[in-house]
């Protein structure tokens, strides 16, 4: 008998919401026109794109003209970071050592081109020192971009995006926030946050893969990085991913419509799992905060390296349980997690990231807990 799949790796990607699939299907079949075509079939798909942009902008409290569709979070982050250097005269970037690799590797490339890269100190839970950021920005000699994740994708630690925005505003620094882990999961009002760029990816909030979003604050003269046609108001050339855009908008609308209810449900799932696992397994600890300083979707657990623990990921997979030992975006690499290394997590621990969604149930968590108890009692 085939085992029931239990998916607890929602920080890697999420299952597409059925209503999102329904919204996309017409644009995979009958509504196939090129949005740049002048006849009605093309005009209809153009209308779908612009309608999606307007609906997203309304939720975010920004102008539709400030939103650009991309292929995902990696492209959005690269566009904002490299564009700030190329077009805005940025000579220094301030970030943290636990950013996503698409940020860190971009910083590495820019450093080789002469851009100064400064990494903030973090504590043992991954929190930055806001006073250090203020001190660094008080040096006004170099035009600076601050680039930080809203929530870390491995340990869930949250950034105070409002506080960072105000600090950056005070010292005339540009602020880019990678909101890929939080977009569609936390309220985001771009009319009240002092942020210049944000990045998002639909597959992190029950939308399709291969489609993302970049917000660029009005008045920031970021130029096109890819040349060709005049798509995305001459900012991003290439025929638009119409069904992806429609899916992104639908997924974001669904997330926003049920946001408070979903936060309450998933927060309870995380709290329940943490309480039960703490009571059931001795000598466990947690990587990153587990309180209000952590996003409610992620729990990174550090297990003792005893018995069958080194094979825990494999044994859970055999039971149909999907979890991650770190970021799935680099799961093919042999190197340990740069995030856990930065937190000085002992190398002899077994670390598992559990990440929850509104589609998970208490019954699923109980099955996982029973498997974990069996592993550490043998």
- Say yes or no: 241 and 307 in one domain: no
Residue 101 lies in a domain: yes
Q: Quick one: pLDDT band at residue 327, thresholds 50, 70, 90?
A: very low
Report helix, strand or coil for 254. Answer: helix
Q: Which CATH number belongs to the domain containing residue 99 in this structure?
A: 3.40.640.10
Cα dihedral 370, 372, 375, 376 in deg (nearest 10): -110
Q: Per-residue pLDDT for 336 more than 90? A: no
Q: How far apart are CA 236 and CA 224, in angstroms?
A: 6
pLDDT of residue 258: 93
State residue 141's pLDDT score. Answer: 82
* Same structural domain, 269 and 201: no
Percent of the chain exceeding pLDDT 70 equals 96
* 62, 102, 322, 329: the active-site residue: 329
DSSP string, 24-66: HHHHHTT----TT-SSHHHHHHHHHHHHHHHHHHHHHTS-GGG
Q: How many whole angstroms separate alpha carbon 130 and alpha carbon 178?
A: 17
Say if residue 238 is in the same domain as residue 266: no
Q: Is 102 a catalytic residue?
A: no
Which residue among 219, 241, 257 closes a domain?
Answer: 257
**Do residues 251 and 361 both lie within one domain?**
no
Question: With 90 as the cut, is the pLDDT of residue 12 above it?
Answer: yes
Residues 367 and 241 in one domain: no
* Inside any domain, residue 309: yes
153 versus 329: the higher-pLDDT residue is: 153
pLDDT of residue 354: 98
In angstroms, the CA 109 to CA 265 distance is: 41
Which pLDDT belongs to residue 104? 96
- The parent domain of residue 85 ranges over 18-257
Is residue 1 situated within a structural domain? no
Instruction: Please indicate, yes or no, whether residues 75 and 121 belong to a single structural domain of this protein.
Output: yes
Residue 165 lies in a domain: yes
One domain for residues 42 and 121: yes
265-304 pLDDT, tens digit each: 999 999 999 999 999 999 999 999 999 999 999 999 999 9
pLDDT digits (tens, 9 = 90+) for 343-357: 999 988 999 999 999
Please compute Rg for the chain using Cα positions.
21
Q: What is the average per-residue pLDDT within 63-67?
A: 98
pLDDT band at 151 (very low <50, low <70, confident <90, very high): very high
367 and 264 share one domain = yes
Model confidence pLDDT, tens digit, residues 175-185 = 999 999 999 99
Is residue 272 in a domain? yes
What's the CATH code of the domain at 297? 3.90.1150.10
Q: Tens digits of per-residue pLDDT, 189-226? A: 999 999 999 999 999 999 999 999 999 999 999 998 78
59 belongs to a structural domain: yes
Question: pLDDT value at position 328?
Answer: 47
Mark whether 359 and 299 lie in a shared domain.
yes
337 DSSP 8-state letter: P
Mean per-residue pLDDT, 359-378: 92
- The model's confidence at residue 39, banded by pLDDT at 50, 70 and 90, is very high
Q: Is the pLDDT of residue 333 over 90?
A: no
Same domain membership, residue 244 and residue 150:
yes
229-260 pLDDT, tens per residue?
Answer: 888 888 888 989 999 999 999 999 999 999 99
Position with higher pLDDT, 333 vs 59: 59
Split at pLDDT 50, 70, 90, the class of 2 is low
Between β-strands 285-286 and 298-303, what pairing exists: parallel, antiparallel or unpaired?
antiparallel
Domain boundary among 240, 257, 274: 257
- Indicate whether 142 pLDDT > 50: yes
Domain end (from 257, 275, 299): 257
Structurally, the chain folds into a number of domains equal to 2
User: Does a structural domain hold residue 269?
Assistant: yes
334 pLDDT band, cuts 50/70/90, is very low
pLDDT at 329: 54
Shared-domain flag, residues 35 and 169: yes
Looking at the fold, whether 230 and 276 belong to one and the same domain comes out as: no
Using alpha carbons, list the distances in angstroms from residue 275 to 76, 147, 354, 369.
Answer: 37, 34, 14, 11
Q: Say how far apart CA 362 and CA 273 lie, in whole Å.
A: 9
pLDDT tens per residue, range 157-181: 999 999 999 999 999 999 999 999 9
């Amino acid at each position: 008998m085939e085992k029931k799949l239990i998916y607890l790796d929602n920080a890697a990607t999420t299952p597409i919401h059925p209503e999102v699939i329904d919204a996309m299907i017409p644009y995979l079949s009958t509504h196939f026109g090129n949005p740049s075509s002048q006849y009605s079939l093309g005009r209809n798909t153009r209308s779908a794109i612009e309608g999606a942009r307007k609906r997203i902008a309304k939720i975010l409290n920004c102008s539709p003209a400030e939103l650009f569709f991309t292929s995902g979070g990696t492209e959005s982050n690269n566009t904002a970071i490299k564009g700030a250097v190329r077009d805005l005269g940025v000579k220094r970037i301030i970030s943290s050592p636990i950013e996503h690799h698409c940020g860190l590797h971009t910083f590495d490339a820019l450093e080789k081109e002469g851009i100064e890269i400064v990494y903030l100190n973090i504590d043992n839970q991954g929190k930055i020192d806001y006073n250090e950021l203020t001190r660094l920005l008080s040096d006004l000699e170099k035009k600076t971009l601050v680039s930080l994740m809203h929530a870390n994708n491995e340990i869930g630690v949250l950034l105070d995006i409002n506080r960072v925005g105000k600090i950056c505003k005070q010292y005339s620094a540009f602020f880019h926030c990678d909101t890929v882990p939080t977009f569609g999961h936390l309220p985001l009002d771009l009319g009240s946050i002092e942020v210049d760029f944000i990045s998002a990816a639909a597959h992190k909030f029950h939308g399709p893969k291969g489609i993302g979003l970049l917000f660029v604050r009005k008045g920031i003269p970021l130029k096109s990085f890819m040349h060709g046609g005049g798509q995305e108001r001459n900012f991003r050339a290439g025929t638009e991913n119409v069904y992806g855009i429609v899916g992104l908008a639908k997924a974001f609308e669904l997330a926003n419509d049920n946001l408070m209810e979903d936060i309450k449900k998933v927060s309870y799932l995380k709290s329940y799992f943490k309480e039960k696992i703490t009571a059931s397994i001795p000598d466990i600890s947690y990587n990153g905060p587990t309180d209000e300083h952590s996003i409610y979707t992620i729990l990174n657990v550090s297990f003792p390296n005893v018995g069958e623990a080194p094979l825990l990921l494999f044994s859970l997979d055999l039971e149909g349980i999907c979890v991650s030992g770190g970021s799935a975006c680099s799961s093919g690499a042999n190197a340990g997690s740069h995030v856990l290394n930065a937190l000085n997590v002992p190398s002899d621990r077994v670390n598992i990231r559990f990440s929850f969604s509104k589609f998970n149930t208490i019954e699923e968590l109980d099955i996982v807990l029973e498997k974990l108890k069996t592993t550490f009692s043998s």
